[in-house]
Amino acid sequence: MSITHRFTPCLWFDHQAEEAANFYVGIFKNARIVQIARYGEAGFEVHGKPAGSVMTVEFELDGQPFTALNGGPAFTFNEALSLQVNCETQDEVDHYWMKLAGGGDESAQACGWLKDKYGVSWQVVPTTINRMFLDHTSAGAKRAMEAMLKMKKLDIAELERAYAGE
């Protein structure tokens, strides 16, 4: 296998690596499971995983490689790291929000951020938002920010109206 990306995010799960990878692959177009590695007998005294159980799942989402690791309960996800999904249209925002948020922590939803059912934080954001905040001193940026702060899932039309002062 040749390296096409220098960085591959590794997501640490207790025991749900394969389930989570299949979940993500089912949401994104151009996504696939690349390979699954399993624990052997060696190292059981350290990792505590039965031989033959899933150790890592390599998968891709729109060409971006990820590794899901069954590392045990020692570490959990938090909002200090999130994955951004850049969306061109409201249909894309709606699709990814609905799929990723399903079964997740609703109290962690704000300003385009959500936490999925595995605890991974995501930002589902329209690409147009970058343009709105380039000049942070503009009245449009202030209005768009005020509108965004009231939203859970971002609404492109509403953000555009706020930015335009309508």
Return the pLDDT at 1.
Answer: 46
Return the pLDDT at 3.
Answer: 54
Determine the average pLDDT of the residues in 44-70. 94
pLDDT tens track for 149-166: 999 999 999 999 999 999
Which homologous superfamily is 82-164 in? Answer: 2,3-Dihydroxybiphenyl 1,2-Dioxygenase, domain 1 (3.10.180.10)
Determine the average pLDDT of the residues in 87-109. 96
Packing angle, helices 90-101 and 156-164, rounded to 10: 130
Distance of alpha carbon 82 from its chain centroid, rounded? 6
Going from N- to C-terminal start, the domains of the chain cover 10-70, 82-164
Over its C-alpha atoms, the chain yields an Rg (Å, rounded) of: 19
Decide whether 10-70 matches 82-164 in CATH topology: no
Return the pLDDT at 4.
Answer: 66
Q: Give the model's confidence band at 46: pLDDT under 50 very low, under 70 low, under 90 confident, else very high.
A: confident
Angstrom CA distances, 145 to 36, 79, 133, 142, stand at 43, 20, 8, 5
Return the pLDDT at 6.
Answer: 85
Reported pTM: 0.91
* CATH dotted code for 10-70: 3.30.720.100
Six-digit token pair at 25? Answer: 């692959």
Determine the average pLDDT of the residues in 107-128. 96
Cβ atoms of 151 and 124 within 8 Å: the answer is no
**Average pLDDT over all residues of the chain:** 94
Return the pLDDT at 43.
Answer: 85
Q: Is the pLDDT of residue 129 over 50?
A: yes
